[in-house]
Structure 1
Amino acid sequence: MNKDDSGKTLVLIPARMASTRLPGKPLADICGLPMIVQVAKRAQEADVGRIIVAVDDQRTFDAVVAAGFEVVMTRVDHQSGSDRIFEALTKMDPDGKAEIVINVQGDLPTIDPQTIRAALRPLDNQAVDIATLTVEIEDEAEKTNPNVVKVVGSPLSETRLQALYFTRATAPHGAGPLYHHIGLYAYRRRALERFVSLPPSALEKRESLEQLRALEAGMRIDVEIVKTIPLGVDTPADLEKARRILSAHSI
């Protein structure tokens, strides 16, 4: 852990036991460890701050404790990961020492630790409320796939955009790159506090994209451009792929 970041940065990993496509997902075995523990290990390798796993089930709680990571029990009825991490934040850091919160989804067991670190870079600019990640789309089919969320942003540099919109549509129109949004966020604490206090917005409900709530409220989101998309484990096929990846890397 970097000494400069140990007090001000929290990595919060929400883990929800209920999953229709992959029941018991956080505890799925990957190379001898539960998936949620593999995610915590990737966060540990990123070396950016204190790591806390936010769970809603005693079995997951016990597995995380056994692996030596901090864990907190949260409510089962949260509608989103951001709501779950905010509950965890208020329970585990009630004095407000943490200034930055990184939300790493609990189903990214193969994520490159460098990708987690990349999410912090846009927050070097004090005008930025929330930072997130994207990768340029190379597969033509992804450009028109509504399950691939696109970032529409104004270029700030070769590796960064200021987000103007997020959409499931093919956008923006015309020649030029399209960007696939990666749902990993770094929040300033005050931005997360404000975000979870806001009601769902009109465009958020229309697109089913929570981050639009922040943009509609006038919050600034900057987006770091990275090279690879982390594998999200949502199905048995994804789980087998994650097992192959981690087995090959002997992690």
Structure 2
Amino acid sequence: MHNIGIIPARYASTRLPGKPLVDLGGKSMIRRVVEQASQANLSRVVVATDDERILEHVLTFGGEAVLTHPHHPSGTDRVWEAYEHLGTPADCVVNIQGDEPFVHPAQINALLELFADANTQIATLVKPVLTQEELLSPHLPKVVLGAHGQALYFSRHPVPYLRQYPQQDWLQHHRYLRHIGLYAYRPAVLQQLTQLQPAPLELAESLEQLRWLTHGYSIHTAETELETIGIDTSEDVQRALAYLQA
């Protein structure tokens, strides 16, 4: 299969401006993402950015990058524009978060394997919830699955609600899963997703994938035990530096 990995990377960030260029142990965050993704079963890895500084930086270390429109409403739209720029047909497009410098190649490959099934439209990752803090954090969306691993619903609240048990005991009685924001799509489906209107569930939870479910698309999942470190704040940068030094 011909698979393309696209990494959306915006310069602007409310909590950490210039985030893709932040230095993490001698390499920029975006370089670390590119290097990790390049170890997966991808034919090309391309950074999709809205800023000349990021574009030029990626080119200096031998990466591939394209300049995209600065006002896309989501990373999904930026990924589609970048894919159109490339002009190379692909069997699968992977949307790799530009603020996940330690994304594992095995996680990307796990998504790609789901496309051996011709019925797979969209794929994403889930990970078991291990602590009460994870379970209750609205920053770590939870997901419930159907019998064949397809996502039924995503929420910032713990789902399902175990009415017969006190909340502090939920993890003892149910295997909760949280969502890891790595996506893969068939190109035709990716194009269709960019044309959908926001849905009430999406607006309520602020989770874009609920738009896709609302409009009838299926999202298949692969499970990972591997942890990643997303970078959103200066505190996250310190956590990442500690991880590198461990």
* TM-score normalised according to structure 1 size: 0.90
For 1:183, what is the secondary structure of its paired residue?
A: strand
Does the Cα contact within 8 Å between 1:110 and 1:245 map onto a contact in 2?
no
1:55 is matched with which residue: 32, 49, 57? 49
1:247 shift after superposition? 4.3
In the aligned structure 2, how far is the partner of 1:130 from the partner of 1:106? 19
Q: Percent identity?
A: 41
In the aligned structure 2, how far is the partner of 1:237 from the partner of 1:214? 32
In the aligned structure 1, how far is the partner of 2:244 from the partner of 2:45? 21
1:48 shift after superposition? 2.3
- RMSD of aligned C-alpha atoms? 1.3
1:145 shift after superposition? 2.0
Partner of 1:215: 213
For 2:146, what is the secondary structure of its paired residue?
A: strand
In the aligned structure 1, how far is the partner of 2:212 from the partner of 2:116? 19
Between stretches 130-139 and 164-173, larger displacement belongs to 164-173
Which 4+ runs in 1 deviate beyond 2 A?
243-248
Q: Tell me the amino acid that sits aligned with residue 222 of structure 1.
A: H
In the aligned structure 1, how far is the partner of 2:96 from the partner of 2:118? 22
Q: Does 1:14 align with 2:19?
A: no
Gaps of 5+ in 1: none
In the aligned structure 1, how far is the partner of 2:191 from the partner of 2:241? 36
In the aligned structure 2, how far is the partner of 1:150 from the partner of 1:51? 28
2:131 is matched with which residue: 136, 139, 160? 139
For 2:56, what is the secondary structure of its paired residue?
A: helix
Does the Cα contact within 8 Å between 2:231 and 2:237 map onto a contact in 1?
yes
Q: Tell me the amino acid that sits aligned with residue 169 of structure 1.
A: H
For 1:63, what is the secondary structure of its paired residue?
A: helix
Between stretches 15-24 and 165-174, larger displacement belongs to 165-174
For 1:122, what is the secondary structure of its paired residue?
A: helix
Partner of 2:91: 99
Partner of 1:24: 18
1:201 shift after superposition? 1.1
In the aligned structure 2, how far is the partner of 1:246 from the partner of 1:126? 39
